[in-house]
Amino acid sequence: MSGFSAAIAIASKDLRTELRTKESLNSAASFALVILVLFSFAFDLGRDEFLAISGGLLWLVYAFAGALIVNRSFARELPNDCLDILIASPAPGWAIFLGKAFASFLLLMIVELISLPVFGVFYNVPWVDSFFPLLLIMVLATWGITIAGSAFSAVTVNVRLRELMLPVLLYPLLIPLLTAAMEMTTALMNGESLGGSNSGGLRILTAFDAIFTALAVYLIEYILVL
Amino acid sequence: MDVRNFTYMVYGYSAAWLIIVGFVFLLVSRSRKIDGELKRLKSLVEDRESEPR
Amino acid sequence: MREKLILTLGSLGTVLMLWVIYRVFLGLPAEILQGDIYRIIFIHVPAAITAYCLYGVAVIASVGFLIKRNFVMDSLAVSCVEVAQVFTLVNLVTGSIWGRIIWGIWWTWDLRLTSQLMCFLLYLGYLLLRPAVSDPTQRGVMSAILAIFAAADIPLVVMAIRLKNVRTQHPQPVLETGGLDPSFVAPFVVSMVALMLIGTALVLIRLQQESTRREIDSLRRELHAV
């Protein structure tokens, strides 16, 4: 079984499981919506002031939802020793990892795309005009969140207090990614384009994705064969 | 302004030293604890080995 | 022999530091613009440099552990990270005090301070993860991976902070003092050497503790076997 077909098989297994039960999809999406509502109570801002923090708010919500989804990714394999069986299978370690990361990526994208219209409605933000640049940022940043998150999910799967340790470890690492995404989203909401001074953010996102995908794939053998 | 400057500089140096010295104390107390644990375990092992079988 | 080494390093470092303080307080005139507070640079910057060196050694030791599975490397990594955190804390506190005098605020989100804070947070996660894992091999591998990920993140953090500052146009307080006056150079270099000596002494003490801990672990196993 070649690596890529193994990765696709594992990704589709995870997606199928998740789409049938909709466990983490429901909880992540509900959590995102609740946080959006909570923030609207927390801040009482005029439109201009709000546009200045719109990017920050959106990506905070996405980061919280992402941690939930990514946490489930490897934790799902714990009952019945499924993780050991996966590792013992002929599928290479990097294929298992990329398959799971890709499944989490798609799930998080679904949650994000659901939350976006809600965000637009609650906060009166003009996201439709700049939808495609926004989609680009979402794809790049979400891949970064899921690849780093899946790596930490694998690392913390057998650790005490896993649900607490994963966010504590993941969020500091994600700060550059989230900062870049937040800055660019705020720029888009304010009507600017992604060129010029905002292109630095794209560079950070691609650099983050490239570096951490390479690191995670390279080091995953050490994590899984513990 | 000058007096306050000087005071804060003293605070700064004191803070730096306090942090380092505090860490040294932490290391020393940890050392004492694990050396005690080591001694205890060593004596337990010797007792077990010297027990008539 | 090791005790003597630690004692020598520690005392030498302390003596050098005392010389630095004497020179800095009595030998140098007050600077017109900043008053006396600028003398704090002689601890602030050397602490940062020492911390970075120690983090570097920790990352190299972590890579070495992944390759060789030698537990001395793991002990070296954790000792270096702990001592580096102490020096980073010194850097943050002295930087904050300096900022309070120069700019009137306890914290500015400028490049230097923020990147040091990020270093601190990333490796704090490292120190939090270790006690949560009971098996020594697992602990070593996970910490090593975390240390490598954290180190890979730092350049991205610097890029992200730069991006944020460019966009939001914060007044950039610059801690750079440009070319150092010749009379400054000697105390600065000596202070760096002194802090590195103290740091090395602390790392050696910590290494000793780690080897004692390993002895305790093996004795415990022996006891259980008997």
- B43 within domain boundaries: yes
- pLDDT reading at C32 higher than 70: no
Q: What confidence tens digit (pLDDT) does each residue in C165-213 have?
A: 776 655 555 555 555 566 677 778 888 888 998 899 899 989 989 988 8
Q: State how far the Cα of C119 lies from the Cα of C151, in Å rounded to an integer.
A: 8
Of A64, A139, A75, A143, nearest in space to A104 by CA: A143
**Chain C residues near residue A193 by CB distance under 8 angstroms:** none
Parent domain of B50: 23-53
- What are the extents of the domains in chain A? 3-224
Per-residue pLDDT of chain A (226 residues; tens, 9 = 90+): 678 888 999 999 999 989 898 888 899 999 999 998 888 888 877 777 888 888 899 999 999 999 999 998 888 888 888 888 888 888 888 899 999 999 999 999 999 999 999 988 888 888 888 888 899 999 999 999 999 999 999 988 888 888 888 999 999 999 999 999 998 998 888 877 777 667 888 999 999 999 999 999 999 888 887 6
C226–B48: do the CB atoms touch at under 8 Å?
yes
Identity of the residue in C90, C205, C212 whose CB atom sits nearest the CB atom of B38: C212
> Does residue B31 sit within a domain?
yes
Number of helices and strands in chain B (H, E): 1, 0
- Give the global pTM: 0.88
Burial environment of residue A226 by CB neighbours within 10 A (0 to 12, 13 to 18, 19 or more): middle
Under 8 Å between Cβ of A129 and A38: no
Say whether A155 and C145 touch across the interface (CB within 8 A): yes
Residue by residue, pLDDT tens for chain B (53 residues) are 566 677 777 888 888 889 988 998 999 899 899 999 889 888 888 888 887 65
Task: Report ipTM (2 d.p.).
Answer: 0.90
Residues of chain A found within 8 Å of residue C159, distances taken between Cβ atoms: 176, 200, 203-204, 207
B18 within domain boundaries: no
A135, C6, C10, C90, C193 from C14: Cα distances, Å = 57, 12, 6, 16, 11
Query: In the 3-class helix/strand/coil scheme, how is chain C assigned residue by residue?
Result: CHHHHHHHHHHHHHHHHHHHHHHHHHHCCCECCCEHHHHHHHHHHHHHHHHHHHHHHHHHHHHHHHHHCCHHHHHHHHHHHHHHHHHHHHHHHHHHHHHHHHCCCCCCCCHHHHHHHHHHHHHHHHHHHHHHCCCHHHHHHHHHHHHHHHHHHHHHHHHHHHHHHHHHCCCCCCCCCCCCCHHHHHHHHHHHHHHHHHHHHHHHHHHHHHHHHHHHHHHHHHHHHC
CA–CA separation, A171 vs C25, rounded Å?
42
Average of per-residue pLDDT across C129-136: 88
Dihedral of the CA atoms A75, A78, A84, A89 (nearest 10)?
-60
Chain B contact set for C202 (CB, 8 A): 23-24, 27
C142 touches chain A (CB under 8 A): yes
The number of domains in chain B is 1
- Best C38, C78, C97, C209 member to test B by mutation, with max B CBs in 10 Å, is C97
Q: Tell me the Ramachandran region of residue C69: left when phi exceeds 0, alpha when psi lies from -120 to 50, beta otherwise.
A: left
Counted residue by residue, chain A has a size of 226
User: What is d(CA A200, CA A185) in angstroms, rounded to the nearest whole number?
Assistant: 13
The answer as to whether B12 is a domain residue is no
How much is the mean pLDDT over chain A?
A: 88
Q: Which residues of C touch B20 (CB under 8 A)?
A: 86, 90, 198
* Nearest CB partner across the interface for A179, out of C66, C146, C160: C160
